[in-house]
């Protein structure tokens, strides 16, 4: 029996990168996946690929920073599938669109604000949009994507690291608010993952450095974090909430 048979799970930022790997992994476990992404064409492309493999999926063009968009995302899911079992808050300003990697005093204020709007407010808005449907069925799984950078502190990305620390704050506080409704809220903190086809020499050097710091000495790829997402969306994690799982090949140990 597949672990997520017929569960309806929304993946924000699911059209590309690691989000796409979450969608594929959840679908393989039997879930009906909703690909909620700013990039409609990429979301449609993924839904077509999933359908070819026999999976039921839906693409919804969504800007997670926009409250009305997140309400539409939840409604479109309910219209199509009649329920919402899970939400993976994966969308972020990170690579697509690319954030600036500069000393903190050079971060444009507008970029700081947009990044917070997507990476932090977006998580709040998406949770707010789906929780009523979860409460109605007295069950739900929310998975927030943070980052290992929060724990070791990364230079030249102050807005990003701050936003991902905020994601952990949301995870812990929301877990306390929603526990009585049997809704779990957990976070995954990946390490540096190679998730783009084009090679950036600066990131290559960074990756070589990270690789040395890991207990498991190889490059981290999107599929390395999919198992954690499946676990947090499945019944196997029903008594685990408010936690942050670091999935980085043992670079950091808690
Ligand atoms: N790649 C890594 O090394 C790494 C490491 C740690 C954490 N993470 C986190 O994992 C997640 C995915 O990383 P990635 O490398 O695949 O990111 P990415 O930048 O490659 O992809 C992000 C996806 O989100 C979508 N998106 C961006 N803004 C959006 C918005 N406002 N509304 C809806 N969708 C939007 C994009 O279209 C894209 O499909 C992010 O939250 C990132 O912060 C990544």
Dihedral of CA atoms 192, 194, 199, 202 in degrees, nearest 10, equals: 10
User: What is the pLDDT at residue 196?
Assistant: 67
- 90 CA → ligand 1 middle, Å: 6
The two structure tokens encoding residue 211: 């690789």
Instruction: Tell me how far apart the alpha carbons of residues 38 and 14 are, in angstroms, rounded to a whole number.
Output: 9
Cβ of 178 below 6 Å from ligand 1:
no
User: What is the pLDDT at residue 30?
Assistant: 98
Average pLDDT over residues 8-14: 99
Q: Does 153 score more than 80 pLDDT?
A: yes
User: What is the pLDDT at residue 194?
Assistant: 78
- 113 CA → ligand 1 middle, Å: 17
Residue with tokens 């309400």, as numbered in its chain: 71
User: What residues pair up with 99 in beta bridges, in sequence order?
Assistant: none
User: What is the pLDDT at residue 119?
Assistant: 98
Instruction: Tell me how far apart the alpha carbons of residues 30 and 27 are, in angstroms, rounded to a whole number.
Output: 5
70 to 38, 123, 128: CA distances (angstroms) = 11, 10, 9
Q: Where are the alpha helices (DSSP H) in 92-157?
A: 109-116, 122-137, 149-152
Cα 137 to its chain centre, rounded Å, is: 23
Instruction: Tell me how far apart the alpha carbons of residues 206 and 209 are, in angstroms, rounded to a whole number.
Output: 5
User: What is the pLDDT at residue 195?
Assistant: 74
| Nearest one of 229, 181, 179 to 27, comparing CA atoms | 229
Nearest CA to ligand 1 atom 38: 13
Mean pLDDT lowest among 15-19, 80-84, 195-199, 226-230? 195-199
Task: Find the helix or strand (DSSP H, E) in which 23 lies.
Answer: helix 17-28
Cβ of 95 below 6 Å from ligand 1:
yes
Q: For residue range 171-216, what is the model confidence (pLDDT) as tens digits?
A: 999 999 999 999 999 999 999 887 765 556 677 777 788 788 999 9
Q: For residue range 85-118, what is the model confidence (pLDDT) as tens digits?
A: 999 999 999 999 999 999 999 999 999 999 999 9
202 burial (CB, 10 Å; 0-12 / 13-18 / 19+) is exposed
Average pLDDT over residues 235-245: 98
Mean pLDDT lowest among 55-69, 136-150, 194-208? 194-208
Residues with active-site annotation:
160
| Nearest one of 164, 170, 161 to 146, comparing CA atoms | 164
pTM higher than 0.85: yes
Q: All domains of the chain, ordered by start, with CATH?
A: 8-247 (3.40.50.720)
Nearest CA to ligand 1 atom 11: 90
Average pLDDT, the chain: 95
The two structure tokens encoding residue 189: 């903190």
């Amino acid at each position: 029996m597949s672990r997520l048979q017929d569960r309806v799970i929304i993946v924000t930022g699911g059209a590309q990168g690691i989000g796409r790997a979450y969608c594929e992994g959840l679908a393989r476990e039997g879930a009906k996946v909703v690909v909620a992404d700013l990039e409609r064409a990429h979301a449609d492309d993924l839904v077509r690929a999933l359908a070819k493999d026999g999976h039921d999926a839906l693409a919804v063009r969504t800007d997670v920073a926009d409250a009305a968009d997140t309400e539409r995302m939840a409604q479109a899911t309910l219209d199509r599938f009649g329920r919402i079992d899970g939400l993976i808050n994966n969308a972020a300003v990170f690579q697509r669109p690319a954030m600036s990697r500069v000393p903190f005093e050079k971060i444009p204020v507008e970029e700081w604000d947009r990044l917070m709007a997507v990476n932090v407010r977006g998580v709040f808005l998406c949770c707010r949009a789906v929780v009523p449907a979860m409460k109605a069925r007295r069950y739900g799984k929310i998975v927030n994507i943070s980052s290992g950078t929060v724990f070791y502190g990364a230079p030249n990305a102050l807005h990003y690291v701050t936003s991902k620390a905020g994601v952990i704050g949301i995870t812990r506080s929301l877990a306390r608010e929603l526990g009585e409704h049997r809704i779990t809220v957990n976070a995954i903190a990946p390490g540096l993952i190679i998730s783009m086809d084009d090679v950036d020499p600066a990131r290559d050097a960074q990756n070589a450095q990270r690789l040395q710091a890991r207990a498991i000495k190889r490059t981290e790829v999107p599929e390395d974090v999919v198992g954690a997402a499946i676990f947090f969306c499945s019944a196997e994690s029903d008594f685990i909430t408010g936690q942050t799982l670091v999935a980085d090949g043992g670079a950091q140990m808690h």
